[in-house]
Amino acid sequence: MAFLAIALLLGAVLRLVFPGDIEYKGDERYMFDASQKVGVTQPWPGLGMTSGANINNPGMSVWVFVVLAKVTGASNPPGLARAVQLMNILGLLVLAFFALRLLPETQRLPWYWATAFAAVNPAAVLFQRKIWAQSTLPLLCILIWIAWYYRKTRFGAFCWGLLGACVGQIHMSGFYLAGGVLLWTLLHDRVAKWGAWFLGSILGALPLIPWLHYMATKPGNTAPFDWRYFWWLIYPKYWIYWVTDSLGLGLTHSLGSVPFKEFLRYPLIGGWPTYLVGVLHLVVLVSGILFLYSGFKTGEFLRGIRDRSETGLAVNSLLIAAGVLMALCGFRVFQHYLIMSFPLEWVWLARLNPGNSGKGGKFLAVLWAAQLLVSAAFLGYIHLNHGVPGSDYGTAYQYQSP
């Protein structure tokens, strides 16, 4: 209990520290502007911003920030980012409550570890500080798992359907979360109040009507065939991110290759590199490889795939079903798509530990400590360098010209 409390406290600090160092580029600027104008000088939009595929997102991707701004009174980008960060801290607390109070005792330990990892994981810290639609998903994801856990009750099934219909409208990856959970549940555990689930799904899908009309009437929706489809179909990017993110190796894209190499030299003492961050990454890599090897060697990986417990069904609905659905669509999978897997990546990782004790427990402890230090070093690097100009992270908000 003390360890979980410390992990949650550290997770809150990592999300709230250096409020002016947030990312602030085109997407963040669009969402902040909408949060200040919608309902004041602009009507509530039926559609959101244009995605990388040149298709507008559903309106709920914008509504979530309008609601956050109105509830918290956020009037500047750091204030709106703070609302997102607080929402994610609440998600960690709800996750801890689910692990401590709702799950049967025999299934709790992997969820304890998942809570601790979710609090300090570098990718989680990076994404949960942003004014980004998918950055608002973690709280909704854990609420979906709680509702799904109580799917044999009318209220639980209704909330499962309602929330499942909403997460995809906030970010497209949420549709794969909802689809994977539904598919795996139908295949392996059909007992649920399906009438209540259907009613919740229909109600949650009502805000999607303007987007469906837009998709049906938008000219040029039929794109030419792209031969890269076959490459993305077989390239296991989803599962690569699943493993690397869970281990804490998820900062390369945000920093860029050259700054990432520089980051490995940190922290600097008197201008001299210590390479502590590089050593930490090596520790994560070696510990992760040994831990994964142990899981395969002892058969825990295969046993986890065959597991029909509530935790086993939950993990496999994303590890297998959602991953396969995303692969079959044949588009490029990006790291941030896996935000919708919160917190199942770390539940999966902890379940590879045979008996949840012994050497496996030590590997998990080492991984957790290393991820905490990497996250802290990353935030320090961003603060000292005013962001990462020229990379995906860009110049931090407080150092940008008006």
Would you tell me how many other CB atoms lie within 10 Å of the CB of residue 240?
12
Average pLDDT over residues 249-276: 94
Please tell me the predicted confidence (pLDDT) of residue 223.
53
Q: By CB neighbour count within 10 A (0-12 exposed, 13-18 middle, 19+ buried), where does 234 fall? A: exposed
Give the least confident one: 3-7, 204-208, 234-238, 308-312. 234-238
Please tell me the predicted confidence (pLDDT) of residue 151.
98
Classify residue 224: in a domain, yes or no. Answer: no
Please tell me the predicted confidence (pLDDT) of residue 363.
83
Please tell me the predicted confidence (pLDDT) of residue 173.
94
Classify residue 7: in a domain, yes or no. Answer: yes
pLDDT greater at residue 183 or residue 330: 183
Q: What is the pTM of this model?
A: 0.95
d(CA 293, CA 242): 16
Average pLDDT over residues 363-387: 95
pLDDT greater at residue 196 or residue 220: 196
Please tell me the predicted confidence (pLDDT) of residue 167.
97
Going by pLDDT thresholds of 50, 70 and 90, the confidence category of residue 218 is confident
CA-atom Rg of the chain in angstroms: 21
- How many separate domains does the chain show? 1
DSSP 162: H
Please tell me the predicted confidence (pLDDT) of residue 146.
98
Please tell me the predicted confidence (pLDDT) of residue 357.
52
CA dist list (Å): 350 to 53, 99, 298, 337: 36, 13, 14, 22
Classify residue 401: in a domain, yes or no. Answer: no
* Contact status, residue 181 vs residue 192, Cβ threshold 8 Å: no
d(CA 392, CA 253): 7
Please tell me the predicted confidence (pLDDT) of residue 232.
72
Give the amino acid at 242. Answer: W
Q: By three-state DSSP, how is residue 395 classified?
A: strand
Please tell me the predicted confidence (pLDDT) of residue 290.
84
Classify residue 6: in a domain, yes or no. Answer: yes
Going by pLDDT thresholds of 50, 70 and 90, the confidence category of residue 234 is confident
Structure tokens at 277: 């961050």
Please tell me the predicted confidence (pLDDT) of residue 52.
66
Classify residue 279: in a domain, yes or no. Answer: yes
Going by pLDDT thresholds of 50, 70 and 90, the confidence category of residue 359 is low
Classify residue 222: in a domain, yes or no. Answer: no
d(CA 203, CA 148): 17
Over pLDDT 90: what percentage of the chain?
80
- Domain containing 289 equals 2-215+229-390
58 bridge partner residues: 47
Q: Does 353 have pLDDT greater than 80?
A: no
Q: By three-state DSSP, how is residue 265 classified?
A: coil
Average pLDDT over residues 121-128: 98
pLDDT, the chain, mean: 93
pLDDT greater at residue 162 or residue 52: 162
Which of these, 190, 130, 171, 204, lies nearest to 382 by C-alpha position?
130
Classify residue 190: in a domain, yes or no. Answer: yes
Average pLDDT over residues 149-170: 97
pLDDT greater at residue 271 or residue 384: 384
Average pLDDT over residues 193-204: 98
Average pLDDT over residues 334-361: 84
Average pLDDT over residues 217-237: 71
42 bridge partner residues: 38
Classify residue 85: in a domain, yes or no. Answer: yes
List the beta strands (DSSP E) in 250-322: 268-269, 272-273
Please tell me the predicted confidence (pLDDT) of residue 382.
97
Residue range 298-323, pLDDT digits in tens: 888 888 888 999 999 999 999 999 99
DSSP 49: E
